[in-house]
């Protein structure tokens, strides 16, 4: 079955996340799927947006569990915050985040609306956390989401399967393979004008 999208959103394809042994096991598959998807999107002038978690060294952006454990990750300026070197995607913009959702405290909603995107393919890690929360927030903001199975991975295979099933059943977000994703160029802006915060988006 074909699923048409107007953008690709990549989440947390960074060194620190793939230091986890289970995610490391899926790294080659996830990156290959993302590279292939992004190459097709770029050829058709469809936007690719990369979401990166970046935390401040002074702990001001750290999550509760990071503070409780006294151990941070994806700290700004460290090698762990860098994108995976084998990720070859040419991106339209890089949007930093500090929480699981790619929408929380970021400019992603406005950026998608400015680009005229109504439905996007979602890729990255981890299924039960950042992917799940981003997908559910996309539903709340009335964006369509296609979950690209080969391009998503979890620290727990059982949670991966349960989460994708929940998103499919609860929010009617289809789970498809890379070859099931087709592209259309996004329309002209369909939402409110971008807020000044859009300036925080980093160029790809």
Every domain of the chain and the residues it spans? 3-193
Q: How far apart are CA 14 and CA 81, in angstroms?
A: 6
Stated pTM of the model: 0.92
Across the chain, mean pLDDT equals 92
For the ranges 15-29, 109-123, 187-201, the lowest mean pLDDT is seen at 187-201
The fold for domain 3-193 equals Rossmann fold (3.40.50)
- The 10s digit of each residue's pLDDT in 151-194 is 999 999 999 999 999 999 999 999 999 999 999 999 853 343 33
- The 10s digit of each residue's pLDDT in 58-97 is 999 999 999 999 999 999 999 999 999 999 999 999 999 9
């Amino acid at each position: 079955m074909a699923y048409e999208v107007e953008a690709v959103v990549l989440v947390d394809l960074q060194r620190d996340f793939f230091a986890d042994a289970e995610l490391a096991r899926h790294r080659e598959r996830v990156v290959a799927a993302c590279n292939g998807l992004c190459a097709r999107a770029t050829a058709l002038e469809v936007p690719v947006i990369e979401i990166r978690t970046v935390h401040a060294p002074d702990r001001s952006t750290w999550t509760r569990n990071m503070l409780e454990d006294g151990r941070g990750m994806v700290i700004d300026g460290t090698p762990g915050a860098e994108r995976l070197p084998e990720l070859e995607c040419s991106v339209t913009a890089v949007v930093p985040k500090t929480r699981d959702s790619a929408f929380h405290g970021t400019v992603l909603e406005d950026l998608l609306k400015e680009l005229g995107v109504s439905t996007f393919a979602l890729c990255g890690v981890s299924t039960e956390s950042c992917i799940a929360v981003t997908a559910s927030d996309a539903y709340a903001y009335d964006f369509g989401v296609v979950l690209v199975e080969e391009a998503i991975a979890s620290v727990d295979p059982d949670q991966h399967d349960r989460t994708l099933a929940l998103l499919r059943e609860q929010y009617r977000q289809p789970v498809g393979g890379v070859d099931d994703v087709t592209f259309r160029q996004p329309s002209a802006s369909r939402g409110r004008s971008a807020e000044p915060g859009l300036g925080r988006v980093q160029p790809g």
